[in-house]
Structure 1
Amino acid sequence: MSGPIRATDVEQLATASRNGFIENRFFGSAVVVDPEGIIIAGVGDPSAGVYGRSVLKPFQAIASLRCGADLAGEGLALAAGSHIGSPWHQDIAADVLAQAGLSAADLKCSAVYPSSASQVAAAALQMAPIPLERTPLAHNCSGKHAGFLAAMVAAGADPATYLDDDAPIQTEVVRVLEQYCETSITHTGIDGCGAPTPVTTLAALARGFGRLGRAVHDRNAELPAAMVARAMLDYPEAVQGQHRSDTVILESLELFTKTGADGIVAMAAPDGTAVAVSMIDSTHRATHLVALVLLAQYAPDAVALDAMSDVVEHIAPPIYGGNQRVGGIKLSPAVLKLLK
């Protein structure tokens, strides 16, 4: 790992144009690895260190299973996801906690409202006439935290210490990341939800996702990895939410994908080909488009082109002026050069 990403090491990955005039440029790095984890294409600096943020959640869910957490189905998908805080998502997180003999009071992620105005309205309607209050169950990481807590209970450890670096679940997370991403964890920060978030390279994240992407069909895959991948594909709405990019890609294309905060995403095909993208300006407006197009190029048999156009329209929507379509997001020459 060469250290934190530098502005001089990134390249333009996409642009947004309005009426033929470029109004936004998106800079970052992208990397493609083959099923063996070998880099086969890249833009920018895939060796720079990045916080994987919520892209790490599938690996964290594997660690929770390894520690003995009783996670399956929707609860496992939620543990690996970043949900929008709907009443349905909150109920799943609450069920995971209840099965471990715990409650929302044991969560250490912040108490928040659901992440969208429509979900706030739905939750308020469900609670009426009682005023809607913030709750940690609505936090987009409550599924991960509930999984961590269930793992601590299963391991016979004090659940109150589940976010400590030396807690059994957190040391297992490091082991999972080092194994699947074939890397060494040398730096760990604190994520927005309060959980440890290790630094890896973008290439290491892609390698890890490649292994997860093929876990469902690989007879040699570790059972927890296969369980996580299967749960995310079977319950895509629990991973994020209706009409959200991760859910749409999982549901419509059956590609293994996960978004992280501050402009990072990883995506994998069933054969283990994988892509990781990080935008230096933290935007997600073009991340999924860059990742999906690169994956379609290097794993063409895994991407259903007849469904891809509708997905692209959703993850990189057109730019409108009033009711008129006046522009959109386009890949940069640096990315187009990688397309054969």
Structure 2
Amino acid sequence: MFSSPLADAPAIREPRHVPVAHVTRGGVVEGTHHGSVVVLGRDGGVRFQLGDIEAACYPRSALKPVQAVAMVRAGLPLDGELLSLAMGSHSGEERHLAGARRILDLAGLAEDDLRNVPDLPYDPAVRDTWVREGRPPSRLAQNCSGKHAAMLYLCKLNGWPPADYDDPTHPLQRVIAATVEELTGQRIAHVTVDGCGTPLFAVSLHGLARAAARIATGARGTPESRVAGALRAHPEMASGAGRDVAALMHAVPGLLAKDGFEGVQIAALPDGRAVAVKIADGANRARVPVAAAGLALAGVDPRLLTGFAGEPATGGGRPVGGVRPVAALDPSALLAPA
């Protein structure tokens, strides 16, 4: 654990985002994605920043590794693929549904005990198959079901009431809030409700990057190390087949990465280097290329990141442009050694 005093909560304001990616077509900028980026060095200091990294923002599902650390500290005995699923925003594949059922079975509970919202699978192909088969929305299919199942399991183990585990005043959520503040190093600015129904905590992008770095550098045997190890070893259980966040972890040895709705991405290396990205308009197409550019600024070999440069813009079936990070995110913009 970290004993440093907590910084004040970040300011709640309209973030001062700046351009972070351009959409080009035929050499002309056709569109611009605004956002903010922070890159931390091995010592935890800010090596690069763009935009507003100190305003309060919602990490969305990028906070799930922090929630998982809190649950492991409180006694959650999961490891491996089930722990990865517990911090997942999964695609709704059968392996994800089966994993959530396994966690519920361990708790002696059933799908109806979950308090997340019923939904169709997140992955378009899986969702289309689901609809063709006439299957209705399901709590297990909703992308946060692994997290909810793990929360129920932990409540059962600790004797906490399971019926309102998603209430911000519940013992489980108080434990999670305390861990969010400890790992981000700052007080929570605001609490609201995430899409799945659990509490969502507003922190700064800088604090989110700091939390990612602390998890990625956790000493062997600590809850942080268990969470990082599970995510690194089983990235598809936290996402799904073909998902960009899993591909990024496969491409960069030792990388811990997690995405979140509304254009949030974290990525951290075992030596403490970390990146956090927020795309202002929530665009997925800008999230990964900007995060990859941040990793290059952190010193990751750009050759490992060539597959994450951004989707092409096509004309007549041919590539004529694409999504590209702004010039300020070129590694040459960072003058100090990694």
| TM-score, normalised by the number of residues in structure 1 | 0.90
Does the aligned pair in 2 maintain the 1:11–1:334 contact within 8 Å?
no
- Secondary structure of 1:136's partner? coil
AA of the residue aligned to 1:338: A
Equivalent residue for 2:271?
271
In 1, Cα distance between equivalents of 2:302 and 2:53? 27
Contact 1:277–1:291 at 8 Å: present in 2 too?
yes
1:166 is displaced (CA, Å) by 1.8
Is 1:246 paired with 2:245? yes
Over the residues paired in the alignment, what is the CA RMSD in angstroms? Answer: 1.8
Q: Percent identity?
A: 34
Instruction: Name which of 179, 188, 204 aligns with 1:176.
Output: 179
Kindly indicate whether residue 39 of structure 2 is the aligned counterpart of residue 32 of structure 1.
Answer: yes
How many aligned residue pairs are there?
325
What is the DSSP-based 3-state SS (H/G/I as helix, E as strand, rest coil) of the residue aligned with 2:19?
strand
CA contact (8 A) 1:5 1:50 kept: no
Partner residue in 1 for 2:88: 81
Give secondary structure in 1 for the equivalent of 2:78.
coil
Alignment of 1:284 with 2:278, yes or no, is no
Residue 293 of structure 1 corresponds to 293
Match of 2:140 among 137, 141, 147: 137
Residue 259 of structure 1: SS of its match in structure 2?
strand
Say which SS state the counterpart of residue 138 (structure 1) adopts. coil
Determine which of 298, 302, 306 is the counterpart of 1:309.
306
Alpha-carbon separation, structure 2, partners of 1:21 and 1:186: 40
Aligned counterparts of 2:46 and 2:301: Cα–Cα separation in 1 = 23
Q: Deviations over 1:291-327 (max 9, x none)?
A: 22222222x2xx35443213x15xx222222421111
The alignment's TM-score, normalised by the length of structure 2, stands at 0.91
Closer, same or farther in 2 for the Cα pair 1:194/1:235, shift >3 Å?
Answer: same
**Is the aligned partner of 1:49 residue 2:56?**
yes
**Aligned 8 A contact 1:29 1:279 in 2:** yes
Q: Which has the higher helix share?
A: 1
- Please report how far the alpha carbon of residue 123 of structure 1 lies from its aligned counterpart in structure 2 after TM superposition: 4.2
The alignment partner of 2:229 has SS state of helix
Once residues 39 and 171 of structure 1 are traced to their aligned partners in structure 2, the CA distance between those partners, rounded to angstroms, is 29
Instruction: State the AA in 1 paired with 2:204.
Output: T
1:331 to 309, 320, 325: 325
**Residue of structure 2 in register with 1:261 after alignment:** 261
SS of structure 2 residue aligned to 1:68: coil
Q: Distance in 2 between the 1:277 and 1:207 partners?
A: 12
SS at match of 2:105: helix
Question: Is the CA contact 2:24–2:321 (under 8 Å) kept in the aligned structure 1?
Answer: yes
Instruction: Identify the residue that residue 3 of structure 2 maps to in structure 1.
Output: none
Q: Is the 8 A contact 1:68 1:151 kept in 2?
A: yes
AA in 2 matched with 1:175: A
**Cα distance in 1 for residues equivalent to 2:271 and 2:261:** 26
- The gaps in structure 1 that reach 5 residues or longer are none
**What SS is found at the alignment partner of 2:85?**
helix
- Residue aligning to 2:21: 14
Letter in 2 for 1:6: E
Once residues 51 and 251 of structure 2 are traced to their aligned partners in structure 1, the CA distance between those partners, rounded to angstroms, is: 29
1:9-64 superposed Cα distances (whole Å, 9 cap, x missing partner): 21100101112222220101111122332222101111100011101100111112
Cα distance in 1 for residues equivalent to 2:203 and 2:246? 25
For 2:289 and 2:124, how far apart are their aligned partners in 1?
A: 25
Structure 2 distance, partners of 1:74, 1:243, is 17
After superposition, the C-alpha distances for 1:133-189 in whole angstroms (9 at most, x for unaligned) are 211111111111111111111111111111011212111111111111111124211
CA distance in 1, matches of 2:251, 2:26: 31
Q: 1:208 to 1:117 in 2, by over 3 A?
A: closer
**Aligned equivalents of 2:216, 2:312: Cα separation in 1:** 29
Q: Distance in 2 between matches of 1:293 and 1:124?
A: 37
In structure 2, the gaps of 5 or more residues are 1-8
Q: Distance in 1 between matches of 2:226 and 2:293?
A: 27
1:82-103 per-residue CA deviation (whole Å, 9 max, x = no partner) reads: 1111121111111111111111
Taking the aligned partners of 1:323 and 1:211, their CA distance within structure 2 comes to 45
